[in-house]
Amino acid sequence: MTSPVHDAQVVHLRRGGTSVVARLAPDNLPCILHWGPDLGDHPPDQFQELIRALQMPGPHEPTYPHSWASVIPRQTAGWLGRPGLVGHRKGREWALTFTTVKHTGASGADAEVLRSVATDQTAGVETTTEIELLASGLVRLRAAVQNLHSEPYAVTLLEPVLPVPAEAGELLDMAGRPGHERTPQRRPFDEGQWVREAWGGRPGHDSATLLCAGRPGFGFRTGRVWGVHLAWSGNQTLSAEHSYTGWKLLRGGELIGPHEIVLGQGEAYASPWLYASWGEGLDELAGRFHDHLRARDTHPQRDRPVLVNTWEAVYFDQSLPKLIDLAERAADIGAERFVLDDGWFKGRRDDTTSLGDWVVDPGVYPDGLTPLVRAVQGLGMEFGLWFEPEMVNLDSELAREHPDWIMGTHAGPGLTSRNQHILDLANPEVWNHVYSRISALIDEHDIAYIKWDHNRPLTGAGHGPDHTPGVHKQTLAVYRMMQALRESHPGLEIESCCGGGGRLDLGIMEHASRAWLSDCIDAHERHRMARWTGLLLPPEMMGTHIGSGTDHTTGRRHTLPFRAGTAIWGHLGIEWDLTTITDSERAELRSWIAFYKRFRNLLHSGRIVHADNVNNALDLEGVIAPDGGEAVFRLSALGLPTRLPAGRIPLPGLEANTLYQVTAVSPAKAAFTVTPPAWFDGGVSLPGRILDELGVMPPLLQPDDLVFLHAQAVR
């Protein structure tokens, strides 16, 4: 491409099975004409014809139906819907008109990049957009605003957009609440806007997570679908807009508080990355996110260690003898990491006190944590520790000594949530204090893993003595601290926990190795949570634990095979008092951990697939090795079927012309089925195409029961 552009051009970017086609003009930021299936290698002049092919008929009237809407829609370009940029200089220069726009492109090993810089010389504002097509086929987009004038410029909205075609007639996103995260919801993509906002300083337990638009009825295996996700851990919005002019837009950006972004001369504000994927079904859409995350240098490269977390085993009732006993039993069944949860610091016997005082409690640990850490490491396990670095109890030494370190408004620190308030990490003094306390403990005890919790939404989160809106600065301060800890302590892993699954966006996951899906580990609920979180995160980044027989949040009881078989479909952990289990439960747990270790390399590297159109009570998902030579499928009964027998189930995603031996697999002594089908005795050998199209007869399963099937290519 050339720079500057004198006449409208069309450029074509190709990577990872995806094409991005954009119209470039000398007076506007790019207009995306297509992002989705690879359109092939064609001469540039053929794509140039698209300008004529897609031009609206009739007389040109720029403020009515028009052919082009840029990635930053503007009223001054005739857009009558929600603008992509709102800013002002004391009420002036609020409507930008670009006098020059320069477009440049670059091709690298990781991405194709289109960068456009638009300038309003009179207003003294420069707007830049970056569109990247990544090797995975993901598209990501962000925009930036720079103030060129001596007078400050306030930005109140910056939301890049991506269009989807008319065939995208149905929307999908998530709803939820604490303990019930990631519940899918669908609706028609009608005219108007569908807006999902998060004002709690985090995406939230009700986070949309992704906002997808696709052909009505799209599923995991069929139906073309497009989706966007905002890589930002603070206040945010995702929305879908259907204009009467025919445009359908998916968009996202940070929700900016009053005067939160005010730019001095030369200063710039960049929006978070808006990630976008597409697929012939949701499995392909999710696969692009998984491929991207797995290709990063920061992605966990070693086997994901089995961990035991102490929370549901002891809660705040910590004692050294009990914890050492728990650690010994954890090591005996094959655990590889031991994580000490909330309650280890001075005075912390419940959640009303001491948060922020990161000093080991001498009453519980008279010799510090060293005896416990040595015991854990002597058993061959890594040691992990719980922190909640962003929060403080008013009943704490920290709050009494530094009340000015607590975020609030002119009326004070505001409402409590879990008896806690927010530390102002954007204050360098506060940041340094918290960082130094955590870093010193990591050094002293060779801590390999931090469970980073975040239990209170950022409501009334004012920064500094004037209590100006502080969520933006707080979010960046959290990122900086996580990054600094990992750089100072190579190999340190961080889990993003947010009172459960309230913060698992790709902003925080740039710094965290895994996310805690929910404080509810009810295995029935966790099937849904993991399935829909999997649109964004691969299994190795999802914390999935085996709980006790009676779930601590729902009160529902499940068998150990169902609990364990649910939990291995992620990064396995145990949240159970192992000092109280029976010998038979111990043996069964040991066999499940061995089962996980046998298949975890496949589970954490393969392509995730789901079956559509199976019996209403059954759920089937699988993971297929990158070379297609092996697969594991999990068939779960989550209710009572309306038909009996349940009918055949497909095994999707296998190599069509490869012969596979399919067998039922399970840990020793784990009984799954009521009545097995005939082929369970010795397995069955069939080509992948037949297994996908015709499937196999499933066993008769009771509700909340499951079975694993192993498909091995016959060489």
Residues involved in catalysis: 453, 519
Q: With contact defined as beta carbons under 8 Å apart, do 320 and 371 qualify?
A: yes
Per the listing, tokens 């926990």 go with 497
d(CA 581, CA 475): 42
User: Coil, strand, or helix at residue 666?
Assistant: coil
Q: With contact defined as beta carbons under 8 Å apart, do 496 and 509 qualify?
A: yes
Measuring CA to CA, which residue among 101, 98, 137, 143 is closest to residue 1?
Answer: 101
Measuring CA to CA, which residue among 671, 689, 296 is closest to residue 509?
Answer: 296
Catalogue the long-range contacts made by 82-86 (C-beta closer than 8 Å, 24 or more residues apart): 82/159, 82/193, 82/239, 82/241, 82/251, 83/157, 84/143, 84/157, 84/158, 84/159, 84/160, 84/161, 84/251, 85/127, 85/143, 85/145, 85/155, 85/157, 85/158, 85/159, 86/155, 86/156, 86/157, 86/158
* Three-state secondary structure string covering 539-591: HHHEEEEEECCECCCCCCECCHHHHHHHHCCCEEEEECCHHHCCHHHHHHHHH
Non-local CB neighbours of 351 within 8 Å, separated by 6+ positions:
316, 342, 393, 418, 419, 420
The amino acid occupying position 49 is E
Which one-letter DSSP state was computed for residue 154? E
- Angle, helix 471-488 to helix 428-445, in steps of 10 degrees: 30
Alpha helix positions (H), 579-713 = 583-603, 688-693
Question: How many CB atoms neighbour CB 254 within 10 A?
Answer: 24
Token pair for 655: 């190599």
Token pair for 362: 């001498």
Q: What are residue 404's phi and psi, to 5 degrees?
A: -75, -5
Any idea how long the chain is?
A: 715
d(CA 318, CA 519): 20
Q: With contact defined as beta carbons under 8 Å apart, do 176 and 170 qualify?
A: no
DSSP element (H, E) containing 132 = strand 125-134
Query: Could you give the angle at the alpha carbon of 321 between the alpha carbons of 319 and 326, nearest 5°?
Result: 95
Beta strands across the sheet bearing 161-164: 161-164, 248-254, 236-242, 192-198
Task: Give strand ranges (E) for 221-365.
Answer: 224-230, 236-242, 248-254, 261-263, 268-270, 274-280, 307-309, 337-340
